[in-house]
Amino acid sequence: VDRPRLHAMAGLPRWEVVGGTDKGGIVVRAGRDLTSAQLPEKLATASLVEQVGRAGDRLHYRLLSGQGPQEGWVSIKLKDKPLLEPRAAPPPATARPEPPPVKAGEAAGDEFERRVEELRERFPGFEDPLPLDAASWAPKDLENFVESGGFVRPKAPDRPLAPPPAPPPVVAAAEGAFGVPQAVQLQDQLHAGFQEQGFQDRLLRLQRAHPLRKERGHPDGAKFVEAFEALVLTVFSRVLPKHGLQPDWDGVQDMHARMALAMLNAKVRKRQEDINTLLGLPRDAVLRPPKRAEDVFVYRPDRDGGVP
């Protein structure tokens, strides 16, 4: 039974299934990798699909007509034998009036969509929707967000601090800031904690426990982020109090603020890149989990939290 998709998006490439005539269709998998789960139903020969994404010879499709799963991943060819062939989209039924001239805001939106498509091609594991404010991000911030599977967000503006009444502005700006020696000392202690074999073993188990964390809508994503934040906080909670900071995410926020000037130093920047590499993050990422003020549970390293 044909199931036409009347809401198919215009402009997306279309493919027709030409293989699988002797096997009842071609194999469909849930993910891009050939090792991902195979769906119980095959995509029937002569079915028409539209391309949602592509990674080499692997096609992420959406069914337009024919029989098979509504969406999934298939191989375009098997060795030298084609399984799908491109098909031209049907012409419009009636002529449409010329579109109005593109405005400046629309041109900027087209450029943003083009950058997003390029990043999805470079990092095919990320398919989640972007935040509403992503169009205003710097290109590097957008790249870090997609590469990290949506975990690394742009640095939030520092919390405004009321200037003290007596000292001049220069003294107020420098108060509490870490110099390069103290910043390097703090980074060395964090690096040592993240490099410990026990921490690395737990991080590896966490990554293996959530193999589909970068797939769109998969619960592995949220579960991994929550567990990852709790894991890295075990190191922050040991190091931050040695430098007069709270052993929680507010302390991490304050640490970034106090290290802002020191981060202009090449040695400090290089050390931060080494830390990010240990954590499996982009080298220039800033570890700053969103919406910390909405947390219901707060980590207490001394186990002194109240018991209801």
- Is 155 within a domain? no
pLDDT(294) > 80? no
Res 99 pLDDT > 70: no
> Quick check: is 8 in a domain?
no
290 shares a domain with 173: yes
> pTM of this prediction?
0.43
pLDDT of amino acid 258: 93
pLDDT tens-digit readout, 235-276: 999 999 999 999 998 999 899 899 999 999 999 999 999 999
Q: How far is CA 8 from the centre of its chain?
A: 26
Same domain (yes/no): 286, 173: yes
Cα–chain center distance at 249: 21
| Integer Cα distance of 89 and 8 in angstroms | 11
Is 92 in a helix, a strand, or coil? coil
Q: What single-letter DSSP state applies at residue 265?
A: S
CATH number for 21: 2.30.30
Average pLDDT on 9-19 reads: 81
Asked whether 25 and 67 are in contact (CB, 8 A), the reply is yes
Report the percent of the chain where pLDDT is more than 90: 42
* pLDDT at position 171: 34
Q: Which pLDDT score is estimated for 268?
A: 94
Q: What's the pLDDT band for 17 if we cut at 50, 70, 90?
A: very high
Is the sign of the CA dihedral 190, 195, 196, 198 positive or negative? positive
Determine, yes or no, domain membership for 303.
no
Residues 118 and 80 in one domain: no
Give the pLDDT confidence score for residue 289 in this predicted structure.
Answer: 60
What is the reported pLDDT for 105? 55
Task: From 221, 208, 248, select the one nearest 232 (Cα to Cα).
Answer: 248
Domain membership of residue 94 (yes or no) is no
Does one domain contain both 176 and 221? yes
Better pLDDT: 171 or 194: 194
C-alpha to C-alpha distance for 299 and 156, rounded to whole angstroms: 22
Number of domains the chain contains: 3
Burial class (CB in 10 A: 0-12, 13-18, 19+), 233: buried
Please write the tens of the pLDDT for every residue from 180-226.
999 999 999 999 999 999 999 999 998 899 888 778 788 887 888 88
Q: What residues make up the domain containing 118?
A: 110-147
Give the residue-averaged pLDDT of 7-12. 54
The pLDDT value recorded for residue 2 is: 43
- Mean pLDDT confidence for 91-104: 56
C-alpha dist (Å) from residue 243 to 3, 177, 286 = 64, 11, 19
State pLDDT tens for residues 128-144.
788 888 888 888 888 88
